[in-house]
């Protein structure tokens, strides 16, 4: 059994940050669960474009307020506590945080922890580290 | 993109309940994500023995207070907001809720939604519905 505490991990290298977001990796590929699990905080007032071409991701809102726009359909959905979105079509999207958004995120295949967001908003497939 | 709201789903058949717990299935096997995602509430004062022999599960505490005992090692860990446990060894365990525990749970392989807890605390493997 693995037991970890977000409040401890966020002081370690399991917390990664980019422009106006922080992600604490609670479970990564090498934990062998077959998915990774992250607690990600998007800063109030920020906007982010992501496109996970090689991963499915689900995102559950624990706290905060914002919206997501599906760039494929143009539809925008409100994000508030209890709302989940799942990128089952590797959907290209924009997330906006009106308040700090705290989200529980699951990735399949699991993130290894060494990926960086590429210019197109994607993570590379596992084993490929350059764009 | 799939968008769902816990507060809506909990009024539907996506909310399943057993003795003193309720689980709202936000994502199931047929959503094709490769994992299932559930928001599970364990009632204050309740105690539950589970043993997912055929599934890995991670559980992240969103709110509440309780503890988990690993029946393999005898170790007990406090559960509070921000604590996650992952049953990477299909660990047999007991969860106790001192306050209502609201937990974000991920299962791999994904739960189909038709499983029932068997007497040994497990879910059957996918495709097998009897004990």
* Helix H or strand E segment including B74: none
Please check whether residue A102 touches B, CB under 8 A. no
Q: What is the pLDDT of residue B98?
A: 98
Q: Do B86 and A58 touch (CB under 8 A)?
A: no
Q: What is the pLDDT of residue A115?
A: 76
Provide the pLDDT confidence category of residue B36 given band limits of 50, 70 and 90. Answer: very high
- Give per-residue pLDDT as tens, B51-70: 888 899 999 999 999 999 99
Q: Do B37 and A106 touch (CB under 8 A)?
A: yes
Q: Least CA distance to A5: which residue of chain B?
A: B83
Local confidence pLDDT in tens for the 131 residues of chain A: 999 999 999 999 999 998 899 999 999 999 999 999 999 999 999 999 988 888 999 999 999 999 999 999 999 999 999 999 999 998 899 999 999 999 999 999 999 987 766 667 777 776 654 43
A contacts of B83 (beta carbons < 8 Å): 3-6
Taking 60 as the threshold, does the pLDDT of residue B118 lie above it?
A: yes
Does a structural domain hold residue B71? yes
Does a structural domain hold residue B116? no
Q: What is the pLDDT of residue A131?
A: 37
Does a structural domain hold residue B85? yes
Does a structural domain hold residue A123? no
B contacts of A5 (beta carbons < 8 Å): 82-84
Which residues form the domain of B93?
Answer: 14-108
Q: Do B5 and A82 touch (CB under 8 A)?
A: yes
A contacts of B62 (beta carbons < 8 Å): 62, 104
Output the domain CATH number for residue B27.
2.60.120.10
Are β-strands B21-27 and A2-5 bridged in parallel, bridged antiparallel, or unpaired? unpaired
Taking 70 as the threshold, does the pLDDT of residue B30 lie above it?
A: yes
Taking 50 as the threshold, does the pLDDT of residue B113 lie above it?
A: yes
Does a structural domain hold residue B117? no
Distance CA(B117)–CA(B119), nearest Å, equals 7
Q: Which has more pLDDT, B114 or A29?
A: A29
Q: What is the pLDDT of residue B130?
A: 41
Q: What is the pLDDT of residue B77?
A: 98
> What ipTM goes with this model?
0.91
Q: CA B53 from chain center: how many Å? A: 13
* Helix H or strand E segment including B94: strand B93-97
Taking 90 as the threshold, does the pLDDT of residue B123 lie above it?
A: no
Domains: count for chain A: 1
Does a structural domain hold residue B79? yes
Does a structural domain hold residue A3? no
- Give per-residue pLDDT as tens, B97-108: 999 999 999 999
Q: What is the CA radius of gyration of chain A?
A: 14
B20 CA to chain A: closest CA distance, Å? 21
Distance CA(A26)–CA(B83), nearest Å, equals 9
Proportion of chain B above pLDDT 70, given as a percent: 92
Q: Least CA distance to B72: which residue of chain A?
A: A1
A contacts of B91 (beta carbons < 8 Å): 1
Distance CA(A88)–CA(A107), nearest Å, equals 11
């Amino acid at each position: 059994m693995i037991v970890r505490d977000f409040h401890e991990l966020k002081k370690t290298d399991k917390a990664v940050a980019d422009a106006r977001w922080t992600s604490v990796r609670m479970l990564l590929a090498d934990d062998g669960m077959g998915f990774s699990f992250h607690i990600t905080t998007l800063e109030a007032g920020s906007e982010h474009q992501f496109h996970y071409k090689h991963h499915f991701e689900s995102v559950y809102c624990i706290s905060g307020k914002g919206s997501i726009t599906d760039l494929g359909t143009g539809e925008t959905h409100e994000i508030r506590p209890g709302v989940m979105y799942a990128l089952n079509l590797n959907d290209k999207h924009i997330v906006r945080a009106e308040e700090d958004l705290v989200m529980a995120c699951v990735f399949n295949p699991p993130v290894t922890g060494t990926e960086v967001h590429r210019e197109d908003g994607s993570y590379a497939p596992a084993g490929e580290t350059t764009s």
